[in-house]
Amino acid sequence: MSSYLRTLTRRFSTVKPQSNPFPPPNISALPWLGPTRKGVEKPRVVVLGTGWAACRLMKDIDTKIYDVVCVSPRNHMVFTPLLASTCVGTLEFRSIAEPIANIQPAISTSPGSYFFLAKCSSVDPASHTISCETELHGTTEKGARLDSQKFKVAYDKLVVASGAQATTFGIPGVEKHAIFLREVGHAQEIRRKLLLNLMLSDIPGISVEEKKRLLHCVVIGGGPTGVEFSGELSDFIIRDVRQRYSHVKDNIHVTLIEASEILSSFDVSLRQYATNHLTKSGVHLICGIVKDVHEKKIILNDGTEVPYGLLVWSTGVGPSPFIKSLPFPKSLGGRIGVDDWLRVPSEQDIFSIGDCSGFLESTGKSVLPALAQVAERQGKYLASQLNKIGRASGGHANSTADVNLGAPFVYKHLGSMATVGRYKALVDLRQNKNEKGLSIAGFVSWFIWRSAYLTRVVSWRNRFYVAINWATTLVFGRDISRI
By CB under 8 A, what part of segment 264-293 binds a copy of itself? 284-288
Q: How far is the CB of 46 from a copy of itself (least distance, A)?
A: 12
Q: What residues pair up with 417 in beta bridges, in sequence order?
A: 427
Q: How far apart are CA 370 and CA 319, in angstroms?
A: 11
Contact 378, 371 (CB under 8 A): no
Residue of 118, 368, 417, 418 interacting with a copy of itself (CB under 8 A): 118
Residue 308 CA from chain centroid, whole number: 26
Q: Residue 151 or residue 322: which is nearer to a copy of itself going by CB?
A: 151
Name 290's bridge partners.
Answer: 300
What is the spatial distance between Cα 423 and Cα 379, in angstroms, rounded to a whole number?
A: 32
Asked if 26 touches a copy of itself (CB under 8 A), the answer is no
Question: Which amino acid does the sequence have at 93?
Answer: F
| Three-class DSSP category at 442 | strand
- Taking the CA atoms of residue 123, residue 377, residue 184 and residue 81 in that order, the dihedral angle to the nearest 10 degrees is 150
Residue (79 or 409) nearer to a copy of itself, CB: 79
CB atoms within 10 A of CB 115: 20
Q: Distance between CA 68 and CA 44 in Å, rounded?
A: 6
Query: Least separation, in Å, of the C-beta of 124 and a copy of itself?
Result: 16
Helix/strand/coil for 204: coil
- Judged by CB under 8 A, the residue of 108, 127, 167, 387 near a copy of itself is 108
* Binding span for a copy of itself by CB under 8 A among 71-79, 226-234, 330-338, 350-358: 71-79
Q: Which of 31, 223, 282, 415 binds a copy of itself (CB under 8 A)?
A: 31
Least distance in angstroms from the C-beta of 276 to a copy of itself: 14
Nearest CB to a copy of itself, comparing residues 9 and 325: 9
Size of the site for a copy of itself (CB under 8 A): 110
Site for a copy of itself in 145-204 (CB under 8 A): 145-146, 149, 151-153, 176-179, 184-185, 188-189, 192-193, 195-196, 199-200, 202-204
Integer Cα distance of 354 and 176 in angstroms: 27
- 195 vs 397, which CB is nearer to a copy of itself? 195
Query: Residue 257 pairs with which residues in a beta bridge?
Result: 220, 286
Give the 3-state secondary structure of residue 302: coil
* Stretch touching a copy of itself by CB under 8 A, among 269-277, 388-396, 423-431, 457-465: 457-465
Query: Of 74-82, 163-171, 345-353, 445-453, which segment contacts a copy of itself by CB under 8 A?
Result: 74-82
Containing 6, the helix (H) or strand (E) segment is helix 2-13
Per CB under 8 A, the segment of 100-108, 263-271, 391-399, 420-428 that binds a copy of itself is: 100-108
Contact positions with a copy of itself (CB under 8 A) in 197-216 = 199-200, 202-209, 212-213, 216
Burial of 124 (0-12, 13-18, 19+ CB in 10 A): middle
Of the ranges 96-104, 164-172, 222-230, 361-369, which one interacts with a copy of itself (CB under 8 A)? 96-104
Site for a copy of itself in 308-337 (CB under 8 A): 308-311
Which contiguous run of DSSP H or E holds residue 404?
Answer: none
Nearest alpha-carbon partner for 102 in 375, 458, 378? 458
Binding mask 383-422 for a copy of itself (x = CB under 8 A): ----------------------------------------
Q: Which residues contact 37 (CB under 8 A, 6 or more apart)?
A: none
CB of residue 177 to a copy of itself, shortest distance in Å: 6
Q: Does 465 bind a copy of itself (CB under 8 A)?
A: yes
SS3 label, residue 200: helix
| 3-state secondary structure (DSSP) of residue 475 | helix
Residues 6+ apart with CB under 8 A from 278: 227, 230, 231, 234, 256, 262, 285, 420, 421
Q: Which of 94, 291, 422, 456 is the binder for a copy of itself (CB under 8 A)?
A: 94
With beta carbons less than 8 A apart as the criterion, state whether 61 and 395 touch.
Answer: no
By CB under 8 A, is residue 54 in contact with a copy of itself? no
- Shortest CB 455 distance to a copy of itself, Å: 18
Applying CB under 8 A, the span of 26-34, 270-278, 327-335, 412-420 interacting with a copy of itself comes to 26-34
Instruction: Pick the closer one to a copy of itself by CB: 114 or 409.
Output: 114
